[in-house]
């Protein structure tokens, strides 16, 4: 076979593969449309939906095919052959490249809660901003892609005890708690929020749905974390979804990070890392990712760096 024939064969193979991928994507979009349409019909016949377009958008974001733009391995300092936790983390990173969907029943309920929040026109005023709950909810909450990342982390790390810093209106907590439901009864989320009316709104929603499976705490991190740390035996997954840049955050943070047995995920800088508290082994120092902006990436003296880190761009 001459070079020209080989080139033509290669081109034809590429065209067939591209057509197959396009057909599959088109079929998936068609199937998604059917599912969303049927869900919308059932809802509109039984209750009023305040914002159907936003409801559909969130529902689709929880179910459709999503490929993250970039997942960058920042640092690796281990031999993965004999470490199950490292293997799980590698599987997690692979899964995040093509985000698994959220279960339909969970996605539907979360989209309904978001719709009810959008109907809240209670005024909110801060130092340099004033509007209402709807506006603040829409610009500060976690929706489909972020929620799917959280669900995937809980699933692949098999986390049972989770801690969230920065509840806001509870959307991230909803995705975490729905993922924890599949892990059985012995699971729990502690979530911390420092502002009103976010705390009152989110805690009412979360406690009414999940009862003792969730603890909603109020206060600034530097003030509330010491008590939270004392109340927790361990943390499998720490989700850091707030800007904590004050020096007063350092001490409580160092206490907390040593309790984390599995994964630390900072949404502010999009970094996810394996971490491990000193309790895992007397000879194993705490391993954790960088602190926040004020620390400029420095690791506290006497503490090792994380064994594996990655940056996520959605």
pLDDT band at 314 (very low <50, low <70, confident <90, very high): low
**CA 136 to each of CA 44, 132, 183: distance values in angstroms, whole numbers, following the listed order:** 26, 6, 32
pLDDT at 53 over 60: yes
Q: Where does a domain end: 140, 162, 191?
A: 140
> Which DSSP symbol is given to 247?
G
Residue after which a domain boundary falls, among 140, 167, 198 = 140
- Are 90 and 37 contained in the same domain? no
pLDDT score of 131 more than 90: yes
Lowest mean pLDDT segment, chosen from 73-87, 104-118, 276-290:
276-290
Does residue 107 share a domain with residue 39?
yes
- Domain span holding position 92: 68-100+145-314
Both 117 and 132 in one domain: the answer is yes
pLDDT at 304 over 70: no
Do 110 and 206 fall into the same domain?
no
**pTM for this model (two decimals):** 0.79
Mean pLDDT of the chain: 77
Domain boundary among 124, 140, 156: 140
Task: Read off the pLDDT of each residue in 208-214 and give the average, rounded to a whole number.
Answer: 96
- pLDDT for the residue numbered 72: 73
Span 54-69, mean pLDDT?
Answer: 89
213 and 117, same domain (yes or no): no
Looking at the structure, tell me whether residues 111 and 83 fall in a common domain. no
Of 49-53, 145-149, 289-293, 305-309, the range with the lowest mean pLDDT is 289-293
Residues 227 and 80 in one domain: yes
User: Phi/psi zone of residue 284: left (φ > 0), alpha (ψ -120 to 50 degrees), beta?
Assistant: beta
> So what's the pLDDT on residue 68?
82
Is residue 16 very low, low, confident or very high in pLDDT (cuts 50, 70, 90)? low
> Span 71-75, mean pLDDT?
69
Highest mean pLDDT: which of 74-78, 81-85, 227-231, 310-314?
A: 227-231
Is the confidence at residue 251, as pLDDT, over 80? no
Shared domain check, 176 and 159: yes
> 290 and 159, same structural domain?
yes
Say if residue 180 is in the same domain as residue 271. Answer: yes
What single DSSP character describes residue 195?
Answer: S
Considering the domain architecture, whether residues 126 and 235 belong to the same structural domain is answered as no
| Overall domain count for the chain | 2
Nearest of 51, 45, 39 to residue 104 by alpha carbon = 39
Can you give the CATH number for the domain in which 165 is found? 3.40.50.150
Q: Do 40 and 81 belong together in one domain? A: no
């Amino acid at each position: 076979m001459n070079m020209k024939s080989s080139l033509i064969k290669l081109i034809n193979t590429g065209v067939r593969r591209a057509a197959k991928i396009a057909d599959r994507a088109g079929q998936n979009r068609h199937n998604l449309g059917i599912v969303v349409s049927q869900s919308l019909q059932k809802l509109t016949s039984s209750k009023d939906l305040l914002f159907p377009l936003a409801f559909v958008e969130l529902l689709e974001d929880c179910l459709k095919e999503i490929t993250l733009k970039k997942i960058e391995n920042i640092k690796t300092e281990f031999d993965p052959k004999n470490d199950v936790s490292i293997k799980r983390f590698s599987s997690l990173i692979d899964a995040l490249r093509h985000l698994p969907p959220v279960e339909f029943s969970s996605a539907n309920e979360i989209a309904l809660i978001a719709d009810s929040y959008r109907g809240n026109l209670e005024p909110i005023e801060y130092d340099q901003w004033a509007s209402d709950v709807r506006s603040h909810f829409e610009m500060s909450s976690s929706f489909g892609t972020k929620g799917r990342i959280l669900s995937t982390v809980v699933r692949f790390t098999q986390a049972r005890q989770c801690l969230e810093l920065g509840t806001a209106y509870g959307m991230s907590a909803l995705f975490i708690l729905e993922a924890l439901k599949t892990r059985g009864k012995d699971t729990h989320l502690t979530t911390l929020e420092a502002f009103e009316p976010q705390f009152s709104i989110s805690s009412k929603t979360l406690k009414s749905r999940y009862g003792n499976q969730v603890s909603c705490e109020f206060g600034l991190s530097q003030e509330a974390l010491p008590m939270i740390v004392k109340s927790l035996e361990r943390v499998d997954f720490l989700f850091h979804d707030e800007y904590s840049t004050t020096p007063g955050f350092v001490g409580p943070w160092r206490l907390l990070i040593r309790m984390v047995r599995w994964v630390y995920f900072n949404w502010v800088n999009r970094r996810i890392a394996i971490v491990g508290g000193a309790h895992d082994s007397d000879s194993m120092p705490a391993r954790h990712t960088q602190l926040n902006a004020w620390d400029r990436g420095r690791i506290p003296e006497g503490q090792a760096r994380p064994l594996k880190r990655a940056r996520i761009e959605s």
